[in-house]
Amino acid sequence: MAKSKSKYVCQNCGYETVKWLGKCPGCGSFNTLEEEVVSAPSKVRGIGIQSSSKPQRLKEIMPVNEGRATTGMGELDRVLGGGLVEGSLTLIGGDPGIGKSTLLLQICSELGKQGKNILYVSGEESPQQVKLRADRLNISSENIKLLSETNIGVIDNCILNEEPDFIIIDSIQTMYTEEAASAPGSVTQVRETTAKLMNISKGRGISVMIVGHVTKDGSIAGPRVLEHMVDTVLYFEGDKTASYRILRAVKNRFGGTNEIGVFEMGNDGLKEILNPSAYMLSDRPLDVPGTAITCSMEGTRPLLIEVQSLVSYTTFNMPRRMATGTDFNRVVIIIAVLEKRAGLQLSSYDSYINITGGIKVAEPAIDAAVAVAIASSYRNVPVNSDTLILGEIGLTGELRAVSMAEKRVQEAQKMGFKTCIVPKANYKEASRVEGIKIVCAGNVDELLEIAL
């Protein structure tokens, strides 16, 4: 008889161990290891694609044209790499209430119009609740069927009967399989149910979209293993209190990563925003100290963003530094460079940095704008409101080249900016854009002199 064993799994990072520990060796958090009983499976099951035992020559493998369906929203299609791929498994993550269910219902509507059969499995809401939302969005397709169920075995049977072309699972944290003993939402359950959905998707060529909730620290609740198993991972970003939402492809087997789509949440659902740069800058303050505009590449798209900074005098020994929307450590380095190389006495000032609009930018190309915003607030001198600033800052205070400078400058020119400050190494490339004055700076000192 198969004996059942128990193991301990960290509910935060998925670390597994055979004995209980107070502190997880994987992520260092306390009291997150929970016991899970694993009954030894009768046979090992593989997941994913059907394996063939004979190797094939790469040259002889016939390429297949993956079928793609449009979702009716150009922004979403772009994030997906040109539409929804048949038989793909997609994970959509985001804070509760950010609009995941709304977006999925809107996709259903469009695919329903194209004659596809859709099964919407909701483990969180009753069919009446989903219906209410559908009414609000004016969706009344014949081809959408709802199922309120959380047992993946029952869902599997239903899929066999209904033979849908597209399945939505809302959300993976509510689903469970009887083969695992732990509670829904635990690492084991999430992994097992996703594996089952993966077999359904790959085995029968059905596109599946899974909703995953996000924990406080921003990762999809439960395990990161989920991200390895699916083809595409999309995250909703943005401030829930503001009306716009950013959908970012973190992983995509069928297209570029980091591609973003910008949407606005209105009374009748999510609408795409066609000119996100204009939208991001729409209510920026003009001619006030502490703000600088730069351009970040989000995937293949240049996006103008505003960097804000507040530098205020403190009597404490330890000044506070805070960064929202960008890497904290990078900001600390920039502050150190400004102190050492540009002579700003920032050690007796608190510094707060914010990228407006709730967007997260991890690119070093925004360094120069961060530095200028800090210096502008420190000296109480505004930056000219039609100046764009580009450049990465090195530890010796040098301004380093950024990638795709021409595209960024073009976007600035399109948005009516008159001057662009770029690193020396980018000068030639940036000068190809007409209708905008290009000024170059070699180091932080020169940068501040030109900008302020």
Using the structure block, give the residue that is written with the tokens 């999510």.
Answer: 270
**Binding residues among 347-376 for ligand TYD as defined by CB under 6 A:** none
State which of residues 19, 40, 97, 283 lies at the interface with ligand TYD (CB under 6 A): 97
356 binds Mg ion (CB under 5 A): no
- 265 contacts which partner out of ligand TYD, Mg ion, none, CB within 5 to 8 A by kind? ligand TYD
Residue 105 CB, nearest approach to ligand TYD (Å): 8
**Least CB distance to ligand TYD at residue 360 (A):** 18
Q: Which is nearer to ligand TYD, 9 or 103 (CB)?
A: 103
Give 65's DSSP letter.
-
Q: Compute the distance between CA of residue 226 and CA of residue 338 in angstroms, rounded to an integer.
A: 41
Instruction: Calculate the CA 310 to chain-centre distance.
Output: 27
Nearest to residue 327, comparing CAs of 293, 309, 353? Answer: 353
**Applying CB under 6 A, which of residues 169, 206, 220, 265 lies at the interface with ligand TYD?**
265
- Angle at the Cα of 262 from the Cα atoms of 257 and 267, rounded to 5 degrees: 145
Residue type, 315: T
State which of residues 68, 100, 202, 248 lies at the interface with ligand TYD (CB under 6 A).
100
Q: Give backbone dihedrals phi and psi of 327, rounded to 5 degrees, phi first.
A: -70, 125
Q: Which of 94, 222, 397, 423 binds ligand TYD (CB under 6 A)?
A: 94
- Applying CB under 6 A, the span of 17-25, 90-98, 113-121, 348-356 interacting with ligand TYD comes to 90-98
Strand locations in 12-57 (E): 16-17, 33-39
Q: Does 137 bind ligand TYD (CB under 6 A)?
A: yes
Least CB distance to Mg ion at residue 131 (A): 14
The residue within the footprint of Mg ion, chosen from 88, 101, 188, 232 (CB under 5 A), is 101
DSSP annotation of 375 reads: H
The only residue of 45, 136, 320, 428 in contact with ligand TYD, by rule CB under 6 A: 136
Residue 267 binding: pick among ligand TYD, Mg ion, none (C-beta 5-8 Å cut-off by kind):
ligand TYD
Q: Name the token pair of 249.
A: 């492809």
The 3 state secondary structure assigned to 175-234 is: CECCCCCCCCCCHHHHHHHHHHHHHHHHHHCCEEEEEEEECCCCCECCCCHHHHHCCEEE
- Interaction of residue 99 with ligand TYD, rule CB under 6 A: yes
Burial class (CB in 10 A: 0-12, 13-18, 19+), 358: middle
To the nearest whole angstrom, how small is the minimum distance from the Cβ of residue 171 to ligand TYD?
8
Please report, as ranges, the residues that interact with ligand TYD according to CB under 6 A: 94, 96-102, 133, 136-137, 265, 267-269
